[in-house]
């Protein structure tokens, strides 16, 4: 089809913004989701293709359903979900993490990802032509933790299970699901990398970052594949960051 439609969550800043603008530059029509209306509107205004800003709390099932209904009502179908909304939370030793702070990270990073994937899956299964693609934003932390990141690390490991389950259940319906695991893309969320972050051995040290545009191009490549092909897992990271041999 000439027109392809992508829903991007966490689209108002960082990786979500970069991916949205990259997709739009290559003709994708966009539905941009996030909690803050003004950044979403700014991304929509900057996009080189039609883009609709839909302020959404992805932890709210009703809001998620409304988001995907709006996407279908506006464009007729959904070809891609970039499941990107998430938060690191406040770095905290495991013994000091409150139940409320744990739940906040789990609700956004895992439950929110599930709700969006479920809503996309339902519509991709029902639409004609059938099928579509879901790309989950994992993290290097889906493989190896940072100190004081138990909630974030647990959710990102769980996202890998979500990706695998969606891949399996999507096979009969031409729904492909892959995951991009990102390390140290330069965004507001990683601004502290240049001044120093806690390492596995207890030191605080600066870490290299990479251009977020490199992430966006990778997501676009994954999204552009025919549904008969899938990048199941991709790791894109700053070459010299401490990941291999992290601790």
Cα 225–226–231 angle (5° rounding)? 45
Give the burial class of 184: count Cβ atoms within 10 A of its Cβ; 0-12 exposed, 13-18 middle, 19 or more buried.
buried
C-alpha 142: how far from chain center:
13
The candidate with the shortest Cα–Cα distance to 87, out of 13, 176, 20, 21, is: 13
Least confident of 72-86, 105-119, 133-147, 219-233: 133-147
Q: Cα–Cα–Cα angle for 102, 193, 90, nearest 5°?
A: 15
Question: What does the pLDDT read at residue 200?
Answer: 84
Q: What CA–CA distance (Å, rounded) separates 232 from 209?
A: 24
Tens-place pLDDT, residues 103-127:
999 999 999 999 999 999 999 999 9
Residue 203 phi, psi dihedral angles, 5° rounding: -70, 160
* Among 49, 48, 54, 57, residue whose Cα is nearest residue 73: 54
CATH of 5-237, one of 3.40.50.720, 3.30.1330.200, 2.30.30.140, 3.90.1150.10: 3.40.50.720
In tens, the pLDDT along 146-195 reads: 889 999 999 999 999 999 999 999 999 999 999 999 998 888 767 777 78
DSSP string, 37-99: HHHHHHHHHH-SS-EEEEE--TT-HHHHHHHHHHHHHHHS---EEEE----------GGG--H
Q: Does residue 1 surpass a pLDDT of 70? A: no
State pLDDT tens for residues 126-159: 999 999 999 999 999 999 888 899 999 999 999 9
Q: Read off the pTM.
A: 0.94
Q: What is the pLDDT of residue 159?
A: 98
The span from the CA of 58 to the CA of 109, in Å, is 9
Beta-sheet pairing, 51-55 with 204-205: unpaired
Q: For residue 164, give Cα distances in angstroms to 16, 51, 136, 159.
A: 22, 30, 10, 9
The pLDDT of residue 247 is above 60: no
Which residue, among 38, 77, 71, 43, has the nearest Cα to 55 in the 3D structure? 38
Query: Average pLDDT for residues 89-111, to the nearest whole number?
Result: 96
pLDDT, tens only, 14-24: 999 999 999 99
Active site residue 173: no
In contact, 75 and 5? CB cutoff 8 Å: yes
Per annotation, catalytic residue among 75, 152, 173, 243:
152
| pLDDT at residue 80, as a whole number | 98
Phi, psi of 83 (to 5 degrees): -85, 90
């Amino acid at each position: 089809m000439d027109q392809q439609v992508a829903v991007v969550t966490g689209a108002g800043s960082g990786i979500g913004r970069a991916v949205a603008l990259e997709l739009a530059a290559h003709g994708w029509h966009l539905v941009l989701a996030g909690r803050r209306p003004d950044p979403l509107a700014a991304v929509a205004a900057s996009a080189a293709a039609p883009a609709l800003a839909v302020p959404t709390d992805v932890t709210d099932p009703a809001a998620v359903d409304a988001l995907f209904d709006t996407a279908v009502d506006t464009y007729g179908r959904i070809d891609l979900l970039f499941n990107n909304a998430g938060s690191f939370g406040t770095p905290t030793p495991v013994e000091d993490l409150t139940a409320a702070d744990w739940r906040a990270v789990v609700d956004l990073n895992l439950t929110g990802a599930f709700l969006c994937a479920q809503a996309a899956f339902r519509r991709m299964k029902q639409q004609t032509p059938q099928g579509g693609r879901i790309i989950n934003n994992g993290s290097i932390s889906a493989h190896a933790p940072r100190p004081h990141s138990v909630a974030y690390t647990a959710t990102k490991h769980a996202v890998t299970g979500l990706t695998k389950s969606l891949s399996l259940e999507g096979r009969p319906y031409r729904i492909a699901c892959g995951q991009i695991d990102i390390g140290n893309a330069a965004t507001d969320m990683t601004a502290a990398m240049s001044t120093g972050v806690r390492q596995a051995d207890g030191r605080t040290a600066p870490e290299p970052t990479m251009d977020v545009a490199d992430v966006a191009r990778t997501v676009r490549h994954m999204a552009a594949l025919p549904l008969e092909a899938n990048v199941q897992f991709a790791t894109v990271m700053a070459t010299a960051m401490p990941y291999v041999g992290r601790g």
